[in-house]
Amino acid sequence: MAQTNAPTVLFLASWYPTPINKSHGIFIKNHALALSKFINVVVVYAYSNQHAANFKLHTNNINQNFTEYLIEYKKVSSSIPIISQLQKTWCFKKAYKLLLQTLITNKINVTAIQLNVVFPAAISLPIFKNYYKVKHTIFEHWSGYLPEDGNYKGFLIKHYTKKAFAQVSKIFYVSELQKHAMQIQGLKGNYQLMYNVVNTNVFTFTKNVKNVIPTFLHVSTLDYEQKNILGTLNSLKKLQQNGFIFNSIFVGGDEAKKIHFEQYAQQLNIRNINFVGNKTQEEIAQLMQQAQALILFSNYENMPVVVLEALACGLPIFASKVGQLPFFVNENFGVLVDIGNEEQLTNQLQFFLEGKLVFYSEKMVEFIANNAAFNVVGKKLAAEYLM
């Protein structure tokens, strides 16, 4: 358990892994793990569950410097919009007041607060700041500010976001385009780029385990608008029409998305393609170690963790010129194509299968070790809280 009375950074998170969704916001948990190597970290998180016993507290001691306090509460069932919203807000605030009381009871000495993905966690920020009277930082991962996403809209989101930014001491961001989009929205402050964390004990470079038949791997939520799965499948189909033989593996997505894209792939008559659903980190790492390349033909991103994980495995990247990727994916690591340009993607994959492109796995691994490993990112975050 995190040490009582030791200086502690409190993580408030809008996304966080739970027993019912173990991968949701895993990158936020990884940042907490990285920071806990240098200072006490406590995460509080409330989430709804249709089958929950109301306001049930779960305490998880991750290591001697890192504790999670998670509260689940019964999902609001009202179908009347105004009543539903009022009930959701009441449950949300009650859960975080109970979490505050838990910290007080356990004598947690909060010396700073890190708000991870501003909304809706920002609604709970005053509950903790009014008691602890400490500074707060923001670590924003959300792509909603980008014009391609366009979800930074509505009174509530803008109201609470602007309040959170008004008194912030540092804003950690994950892509230059994201930073620019936030600033255009009037969200000013002291910005600092921070990499997402890669568990380099799991995502490792292993030689001589590649599949005999070239294998392309895609890992994502299979989001319709963002990940451009249709464009990826169209390029793979064209590649097969050009006479190339390869396997394709798509990881992630809920069952509805998985079925939808399986049917589209069948319509295109794409051979040797497999949609395998959600996998653990260890399973994804093994697939990366066996594949020949990762494809992420997205319409927009910030700093996709899957790209960093692939590089840690020495896996070349074929992706769009989105988010932070143009700032670190160079000719040693892979190829970036114009957003939505299926012909470019097909051509570059063809060059790769023909042996015309050469990448350097050792340089990929070195880059991750210097920029995205736990100790590196944790030390940079800790610099803000140990001054």
Judged against a pLDDT cut of 70, whether residue 4 lies above it is answered with: no
Q: What is the CATH number of the domain that holds 229?
A: 3.40.50.2000
* Same domain flag for 365 and 377: no
Strand, coil or helix: 126: helix
Strand ranges, E, within the chain: 7-13, 40-49, 56-63, 66-74, 109-116, 136-139, 170-173, 191-193, 215-219, 247-251, 273-277, 293-296, 317-320, 334-337
- Condensed to tens digits (0 to 9), the pLDDT of residues 75-104 reads 877 777 777 788 888 889 999 999 999 999
How many Å separate Cα 47 from the centre of its chain? 18
169 within a domain of the structure (yes/no): yes
- The DSSP-derived string for 185-222 is TT--S-EEE-PPP--TTTS---SS---SS-EEEEES--
- Condensed to tens digits (0 to 9), the pLDDT of residues 270-294 reads 999 999 999 999 999 999 999 999 9
* Same domain flag for 342 and 241: yes
Rounded alpha-carbon distances, angstroms, from residue 320 to 247, 309, 336, 367: 21, 17, 5, 20
2 within a domain of the structure (yes/no): no
* Same domain flag for 293 and 338: yes
Judged against a pLDDT cut of 70, whether residue 2 lies above it is answered with: no
* Same domain flag for 187 and 231: no
pLDDT of the residue at 42 = 98
55 within a domain of the structure (yes/no): yes
pLDDT of the residue at 94 = 94
| Domain region containing 312 | 215-370
Tell me the mean pLDDT in the region 345-362: 97
Q: Other C-beta atoms within 10 Å of 44: how many? A: 27
* Same domain flag for 378 and 327: no
* Same domain flag for 192 and 71: yes
Q: Other C-beta atoms within 10 Å of 345: how many? A: 26
* Same domain flag for 171 and 35: yes
- Condensed to tens digits (0 to 9), the pLDDT of residues 164-192 reads 999 899 999 999 999 999 999 999 999 99
* Same domain flag for 249 and 119: no
Strand, coil or helix: 296: strand
* Same domain flag for 55 and 185: yes
202 within a domain of the structure (yes/no): no
pLDDT of the residue at 97 = 97
Judged against a pLDDT cut of 90, whether residue 232 lies above it is answered with: yes
* Same domain flag for 272 and 379: no
Q: Other C-beta atoms within 10 Å of 137: how many? A: 21
206 within a domain of the structure (yes/no): no
Q: Specify the residue for token string 């005999």.
A: 212
Residue 303: name the closest of 329, 330, 282, 333 by CA: 329
Query: What total number of domains does the chain contain?
Result: 2
How many Å separate Cα 288 from the centre of its chain? 18
State the greatest distance between any 2 C-alpha atoms of the chain, in Å, as a whole number: 67
- The DSSP-derived string for 64-124 is TTEEEEEEEEEPP---SHHHHHHHHHHHHHHHHHHHHHHHHHTT-EEEEEEEESSTTGGGT
Residues ≥6 apart with Cβ < 8 Å to 383: none
1 within a domain of the structure (yes/no): no
pLDDT of the residue at 1 = 59
DSSP symbol at 25: T
- Condensed to tens digits (0 to 9), the pLDDT of residues 128-146 reads 999 999 999 999 999 999 9
- The DSSP-derived string for 177-193 is HHHHHHHHTT--S-EEE
Q: What is the CA radius of gyration of the chain?
A: 22
Count of all residues that appear for the chain in the document: 387
- 40-44, 87-91, 201-205, 359-363: which range is least confident on average? 87-91
- The DSSP-derived string for 242-293 is TT---EEEEE---HHHHHHHHHHHHHHT--SEEEEE---HHHHHHHHHH-SE
* Same domain flag for 76 and 115: yes
Highest mean pLDDT among 84-93, 207-216, 376-385: 376-385
pLDDT of the residue at 86 = 85
pLDDT of the residue at 51 = 78
Distance CA 203, CA 199 (A): 6
161 within a domain of the structure (yes/no): yes
132 within a domain of the structure (yes/no): yes
Phi and psi dihedrals of 170, rounded to 5?
-155, 140
* Same domain flag for 331 and 234: yes
